[in-house]
Amino acid sequence: MSSVTSLVQSVDWLAIAPPTIAAAVALAVLVADLFLPAARKPLLGWIATAGLALAALSLLPLLDGHRRTFCLTGRPDVCSYAADHFALVIQFLVLAGALLTALLSVDTIKDHDLPTGEYWFLLLSSAAGAALLPASRDLATLVIALEVASLPAFALVGLRRGDRLSSEAALKFFLSSVAATAVMLLGVSFLYAATGNLHLSRVAHALAALPDPRLATLASAGVALTLVGFAFKTAAVPFHFWVPDTYVGAPLPIAAYLSVVGKAVGFSGLILVTVQGFPSYANVWGPALAVLAALTMTVGNVAALRQDPHRTHSAVRLLAWSSVGQAGYLLVPIAAAGYAHDPAHAIGSTVAYALMYGAVNLGAFAVAALVARTSPAHRIADYRGLYARRPLVALALGFFLLCLAGLPPGIIGLFAKVTVFSAAVDAGLGWLAVVMAVNVVIALYYYLQWTAVLFRADGAPAAETPRARIPAPLTAAITLAAALGIALSGAPQLVLRFASGALL
């Protein structure tokens, strides 16, 4: 009898509340969808939004950051779930990002006649998976969380029924993602075979002193293959081909979601496996990630530079490619962690950068969603004269773009880049810092070009059409993102402190 009870792990429900609430609300929405009359369906959106807000609020009691659960009964220090500071910050990013996405989605669902219940269920499930991932501390949970975050995303991308682009995007996304997951599973199984463990801390321990030196090849192959899965999610080159087509085909809020939450999933997984799981293989993944980062930012920025502003979908394509470029910056501190004595310090820069990026990128997508209501072609040329039509929206977009470019008045963007630069310089990765510097200039060119378009006088005479009112949820999303960006620009310490304190 006693042997049976000792197998049951104790569960700290408070610690796992954030992903659990999101998952529970997802189910509730799915069930409620069956009973609600068509006219009342918009209610589901508000339930989902409230659920996400509640999940974000449930982070508050955990702030001390010492809770762990699902620990081995024999060894209370080996746990599968840890609500430490790193997990909490990423969970906040994920849930807040999903919340902003939800605000963007309310009107998109209405305008494009998307299936309401399914949409919210899928969004919430994906958010639940994304919130689980940063807290997972064993390889099995990581894989499951990654799948929970990804599978609903495939369906969301393909949700625009009858739209050829949408289904093609979903298929492309699905096939490449599944291939990446399969490769990653192979890597995980290699690691399990080499170390006999799944818990990251134990894997780290075992990798440092393999029982048999002949296993070393298997272990390093496992390390490399595991990274692939997360590199795919982060949209790192050469696993980035799905990005532009997927963003263009997906409903715009989903593209926004993938660009922020999807990336958060990717890089937090990457951080966990590299820094927590394979510290003894830093000489393998450090240089690999550095090269990956350099390639990613260069390919992303150069492709974004080549977007023709008059082509349809150029705005979304530009955001897609620029998000690839930004993923490159996010990878820099992780690569630097492979060289530094104090890896926790370096990854803080990634977290700080991701928080900045999340807020302003979602803001940019929110404005794109607004502009798409009147000109659905998503061309950058459609933004011409936006300042004359909607001065505040244009100023907000200008601010978001300059934050992404890292120029004042986007002070937070500038300092987020500074922390990334300093992580690279500190780790002795001078060449990577120089590559990034060149990329920052390339990126500035297209961001500023777009910003300049906003303020250029509209060639056409003032439109006769009465100004359509901006829907409240969109206003809320833009305001929220802009307020975050401005607050952070005034007090960058709010996010930059993660770059100085140890998170893991």
Partner 1 sequence: MNHTAMQILLAGAVVLPLVGALAALLPAPPGLKGKNPDQAVLRHGVTVTAVVLAASLALAAGFDRGHPARMQATTDISWIPALGIRIHLGVDGISLPLLVLTALLTFLCALYSYFKMPTGPSPKAFVALLLVLESGTLATFAVLDLMLFFLAFEMVLIPMYFLIARWGGAQKQAAAWKFILYTLLGSVVMLLGLLLIGLKSGTFDMVALATDNGPKAQLSHTVQLIAVLAVGIGLAVKSPLWPLHSWLPDAHTAAPTVGSVLLAGVLLKMGTYGFVRIALPITPEGMHTLAPYLAALAAVGIIYGSLACLALVRKGAKGDLKRLIAYSSVGHMGFVLLGIASMTPTGVNGALFANIAHGLITGLLFFLVGALKDRCGSTDIDTLAGATGAALYGRAPRFGGLLAFGAVASLGLPGLAGFWGEMLAMFGAFRPAAGLSRPAFLTFMALAGLGTLLTAAYLLLVVRRVCMGGTLAAGTAPAADTAAPRPAAPVIPDLARYEYAAWSPLAALTVLAGLWPAALLGLTNPAVQQLLGGGK
DSSP 255-286: HHHIIIIIHHHHHHHHHIIIIII-GGGHHHHH
Given the rule CB under 8 A, which of 52-60, 208-216, 473-481, 496-504 is the region that contacts partner 1?
496-504
- Sign (positive or negative) of CA dihedral 267, 326, 329, 295: positive
Phi and psi (nearest 5°) for 200?
Answer: -55, -40
CB of 390 to partner 1, least distance (A): 14
Using rule CB under 8 A, residue 310 touches partner 1:
no
According to CB under 8 A, which one of 437, 463, 483, 487 is a site residue for partner 1? 437
Using rule CB under 8 A, residue 360 touches partner 1:
no
Maximal CA-CA distance, the chain: 83
- What character string, x for contact with partner 1 (CB under 8 A) and - otherwise, covers 193-212? --------------------
Using rule CB under 8 A, residue 306 touches partner 1:
no
Phi and psi (nearest 5°) for 160?
Answer: -80, 90
Query: Which long-range contacts link 50-53 to residues 24+ away (Cβ below 8 Å)?
Result: 50/25, 51/21, 51/22, 51/24, 51/25, 51/26, 51/124, 52/22, 52/25, 52/95, 52/98, 52/99, 52/102, 52/124, 52/127, 53/99
CB of 325 to partner 1, least distance (A): 15
- Calculated CA dihedral for residues 172, 174, 177, 178, nearest 10 degrees: -130
Contact 398, 451 (CB under 8 A): yes
- The per-residue b/e assignment along 63-96, b for 16 or more CB within 10 angstroms, e otherwise, is eeeebbbbbeeeeeebbbbbbbbbbbbbbbbbbb
Using rule CB under 8 A, residue 500 touches partner 1:
yes
Using rule CB under 8 A, residue 455 touches partner 1:
yes
- What character string, x for contact with partner 1 (CB under 8 A) and - otherwise, covers 90-119? ------------------------------
- For tokens 């705005």, the residue is 315
According to CB under 8 A, which one of 94, 440, 474, 478 is a site residue for partner 1? 440
Task: Identify which of residues 119 and 446 has a Cβ nearer to partner 1 in the complex.
Answer: 446
Task: Identify which of residues 92 and 455 has a Cβ nearer to partner 1 in the complex.
Answer: 455
Using CA atoms, how far residue 286 sits from 116, 142, 188, 343, in Å, is: 44, 21, 19, 11
CB of 441 to partner 1, least distance (A): 5
Using rule CB under 8 A, residue 421 touches partner 1:
yes
Residues contacting residue 264 through CB under 8 Å, at least 6 positions apart: 90, 93, 94, 97, 130, 134, 354, 358
Q: Give me 98's structure tokens.
A: 């999903």
Task: Identify which of residues 218 and 448 has a Cβ nearer to partner 1 in the complex.
Answer: 448
Using rule CB under 8 A, residue 40 touches partner 1:
no
- Is there a cis peptide before residue 238, judged by omega within 30 degrees of 0? yes
Given the rule CB under 8 A, which of 33-41, 82-90, 124-132, 495-503 is the region that contacts partner 1?
495-503
According to CB under 8 A, which one of 89, 188, 499, 503 is a site residue for partner 1? 499
Using rule CB under 8 A, residue 434 touches partner 1:
yes
CB of 481 to partner 1, least distance (A): 20
What span, in angstroms and rounded, lies between the C-alpha atoms of 22 and 459?
47
β-strand partners of 81: 69, 136
Using rule CB under 8 A, residue 415 touches partner 1:
yes
**DSSP symbol at 360:** H
CB of 276 to partner 1, least distance (A): 22
Using rule CB under 8 A, residue 161 touches partner 1:
no
Using rule CB under 8 A, residue 492 touches partner 1:
yes
Using rule CB under 8 A, residue 502 touches partner 1:
no
According to CB under 8 A, which one of 457, 460, 462, 468 is a site residue for partner 1? 457
Using rule CB under 8 A, residue 472 touches partner 1:
no
Using rule CB under 8 A, residue 441 touches partner 1:
yes
Quick one: which of 258, 20, 50 has its CA closest to 131?
20
Phi and psi (nearest 5°) for 101?
Answer: -60, -40
Using rule CB under 8 A, residue 432 touches partner 1:
no
What span, in angstroms and rounded, lies between the C-alpha atoms of 106 and 43?
10
**DSSP symbol at 199:** B
Given the rule CB under 8 A, which of 90-98, 264-272, 281-289, 411-419 is the region that contacts partner 1?
411-419
Task: Identify which of residues 324 and 407 has a Cβ nearer to partner 1 in the complex.
Answer: 407
- What character string, x for contact with partner 1 (CB under 8 A) and - otherwise, covers 367-406? -----------------------------------x----
- What character string, x for contact with partner 1 (CB under 8 A) and - otherwise, covers 338-357? --------------x-----
| Chain-centre distance for alpha carbon 116 | 24
**Site size for partner 1 (CB under 8 A):** 35
Using rule CB under 8 A, residue 445 touches partner 1:
yes
Q: Which residues bind partner 1 (CB under 8 A)?
A: 352, 402, 407-409, 411, 414-415, 418-419, 421-422, 425-426, 430, 433-434, 437-438, 440-441, 444-445, 448, 452, 455, 457, 492-493, 496-501
